[in-house]
Chains A and B, each alone.
Chain A
Amino acid sequence: MIDDELKAILVCPACKGDLLFEETRIICRACRKAYPIRDGIPVMLINEAQPWSPGT
């Protein structure tokens, strides 16, 4: 669970874009990356992000 306060201030480390928070990952639609959430911790490491495209 990522608290709302963190959601409000976190942006994409690659493009500074807004993020979309899902249950298990965090999506940057602008630069098409999915950052994992592990043990409730958002992992905002660019080299651990998966490529993302709409509909996946």
Chain B
Amino acid sequence: MRVLVTGAAGFIGSHLCEFLLARDCDVVGMDNFITGSADNLTPVRRHPRFSFVRHDVTEYVPIAGPLDWVLHFASPASPRDYLELPIQTLKVGALGTHNALGVARATRARFLLASTSEVYGDPLMHPQREDYWGNVNPIGPRGVYDEAKRFAEAMTMAYHRTHGVDTRIVRIFNSFGPRMRLNDGRAIPAFMTQALSGAPITVFGDGSQTRSFQYISDLVEGVWLLMQLGGNEPVNMGNPQEMTLLELAKRIIRLSGSRSEIVFRPLPEDDPKVRQPDITRARTLLGWQPRVDTDEGLKLTLEWFRERVKGVEA
């Protein structure tokens, strides 16, 4: 089986490539390295069933098949990245998704869109179920990502309904693990870098906003199951274990043995106040639920960050 993975050099994409190779898939990775990094591909670069093309998926995807699956993970995904790359973010959600669907249609491949919990915006339903339509500010600074992914979902369903492409949509909630960029601006890399270097840990707002963090291995396993068992409706994937950002900061301090203090900074615009997946659909449809406990995942991630933070200081 041959799989095309867009965004293959990203945090999630690179883990996904490793997972697929371990299950005897042939993997064609694609990335333009805007936010992805060639370093993330080091573990798979020499794998005999892995090949890689540097390409921008907002242009025509130059693969003439045959392909069995197209997994579309290309997009800037951290707020820092998409605030810096607003137009590229909108383009990869719109044109990129269109092109990725085009190659899936032409090769009769099954397609998966990596969507996001951000389609729910600052949610008025809690926890968020897939039938919730969301609360997104289309013209706010974060709207570039949220609306790109909402458009991408609409495009995916249109290709399914109009062209009969067998499509999947996974709405990915906050995920973490090794290979997140130290400076990507998200809470876990920021807190870990600060804790490990003894710098003050910056919590935005009063830290009472909540998130749910799933470990990367749970997500890639869920994607694998969704491709085989899932239907065309969107499926949430995340860890329902919800915590406040302040609690997350304290856990990271405790697990890393850090002496960092916590300092508070103003909350960014349109920052969601709560976030927790309802994963009933994934449980029912796929028999999937997260297996890695948050603290366990944090420990594994801290090990990886410890090496990197050392490198930065040296």
A residues lining the B interface (CB < 8 Å): 2-3, 5-6, 9-14, 16, 38-39, 41-46
Contact = CB atoms under 8 A, between A and B. Distances in A.
Interface stretch (B51-59, B207-215, B285-293): B51-59
Nearest to B64: A11
A10 B53 contact: yes
Interface residues of B, number: 20
Given A12-B62, A16-B62, A44-B62, A6 B55 contact: no
Contacts of B61: 13
B60 interface: yes
B54 A9 contact: no
Given A41-B54, A44-B54, A10 B59 contact: no
A16 B55 contact: no
B56 A9 contact: no
Contact of B65 (A6, A9, A14, A42): A9
B53 A44 contact: yes
B63 interface: yes
B18 interface: no
B118 interface: no
Interface in B23-49: 26, 28, 32, 38, 48
A12 B54 CA distance: 13
Where chain B touches its partner, the secondary structure class is loop
Residue from B52, B54, B55, B63 with most neighbouring chain A CB atoms (10 Å): B54
A42 B54 contact: yes
Contacts of B66: 9
Contacts of B65: 9
A26 B28 CA distance: 18
Interface string B76-117: 000000000000000000000000000000000000000000
Nearest to B67: A9
A11 B62 contact: yes
25 contacts: A2-B51, A3-B48, A3-B51, A5-B26, A5-B51, A9-B28, A9-B64, A9-B67, A10-B53, A10-B62, A11-B62, A12-B62, A13-B59, A13-B61, A13-B62, A41-B38, A41-B54, A42-B53, A43-B54, A44-B53, A44-B54, A44-B55, A44-B62, A45-B54, A45-B56
Given A9-B66, A11-B64, 14 more contacts: A5-B26, A9-B63, A9-B67, A10-B53, A10-B64, A12-B62, A16-B60, A16-B62, A41-B38, A42-B53, A42-B54, A44-B55, A44-B62, A46-B59
